[in-house]
Amino acid sequence: MRHTISVLVENKFGVLSRVSGLFSGRGFNIESLSVAPTLDQTTSRMTIITRGDDAIIEQITKQLNKLIDVIKVIDFSEEDFIERGIVLVKVNSEPNNRAEILRMTEIFRGKVVDVSPKTYTIEVTGAEEKVSAFVEMIKPLGIIEIARSGKIAMSRGKKTLG
């Protein structure tokens, strides 16, 4: 099963390599990873998308907690949470498909963020399914380049990571 795990870590030199090394060294899979400092500059927040059965996910969260620089770990799969990622897609804009590109962008509440005589660059944010659905829909129109971010996540309601 796909799991979204957020990790609060000390914002220290080498933390990212400790976390990614844990995954590669123990054969856990990372589908995506994002990391940035929090309001408190001494901590960073990582969000990791991974897959595994219950036993593997249990090991992943325990092993993450065991890393000395890790302050807190949340596996969101058990609760209601918000997940967001962003994609930038550069597409061929031909006179005959411009309207379709703009229509898709609107349906997915995206934005055209750059225009050139031959290209449109579109930004879409949302949960994994939405971003993927957008990419699928736009594919037949001719994608030149795509850049997708890792996901970030947050609990709904009052609960926080720390």
Partner 1 sequence: MEHTGAEIFVKSLLKQGADLIFGYPGGVVLPIYDELFKTPKLRHILVRHEQGAVHMADGFARASGKPGVALVTSGPGATNTVTGIATAYMDSIPIVVFTGQVPTGLIGNDAFQEADIVGITRPCVKHSYLVRDVKDLANTIAEAFYIATTGRPGPVLVDLPKDVLLAKTRFEYPEKVEMRSYRPTTVANKRQIDRLAAALEEAKRPVLYVGGGMILTNAAAELKKLARAIHAPVTMTLMGLGSFPSLDDLCLGMLGMHGTYRANMAVTHTDLIVALGARFDDRVTGKLDEFAPNAKVAHVDVDPTAISKNVTAHIPVVGDLKDAMKKLNAVIAESKVDWKTKHKPWLDQIDEWKHANKLEYVKKTKVIKPQFVIEEIDRVTGGDAIFATEVGQNQMWAAQYLTLKNPRTFLTSGGLGTMGYGFPAAIGAQAAFPDKVVFDIAGDGSIQMNIQELGTAVQQRLPVIIAILNNGFLGMVRQWQQLFHGNRYSYTCMESQPDFVKLAEAYGALGIRATLPEEVGPALERAIAARRPTIIDFVVDREENVYPMVPAGSPINKMLLA
Residue for token digits 């498909």?
97
Is residue 69 part of the contact set for partner 1 (CB under 8 A)? yes
Is residue 152 part of the contact set for partner 1 (CB under 8 A)? no
Distance in angstroms between the alpha carbons of the first and the last residue of the chain: 26
State the virtual CA torsion across 103, 114, 130, 4 in degrees, nearest 10.
Answer: -170
Residue span binding partner 1 (CB under 8 A) among the ranges 67-75, 95-103, 121-129, 146-154: 67-75
Plot region of 17 (φ>0 → left; ψ -120 to 50 → alpha; else → beta):
alpha
Instruction: Count the neighbouring beta carbons within 10 Å of the beta carbon of residue 49.
Output: 20
Residue span binding partner 1 (CB under 8 A) among the ranges 64-72, 84-92, 99-107, 113-121: 64-72
What would the two tokens of residue 116 be?
């050139």
- Nearest 5°: CA angle at 127, between 78 and 147? 130
Radius of gyration for the chain, computed over Cα atoms and rounded to the nearest angstrom: 18
Residue span binding partner 1 (CB under 8 A) among the ranges 11-19, 28-36, 85-93, 147-155: 11-19
Is residue 35 part of the contact set for partner 1 (CB under 8 A)? no
Q: Which of 46, 70, 131, 152 binds partner 1 (CB under 8 A)?
A: 70
State the nearest-atom distance from the C-beta of 75 to partner 1, in Å. Answer: 14
Instruction: Count the neighbouring beta carbons within 10 Å of the beta carbon of residue 10.
Output: 14
Q: Which is nearer to partner 1, 21 or 37 (CB)?
A: 21
Is residue 148 part of the contact set for partner 1 (CB under 8 A)? no
Give residues in contact with partner 1 (CB under 8 A): 9-10, 13-14, 17-18, 21, 25, 55, 58-59, 62-63, 65-66, 68-71
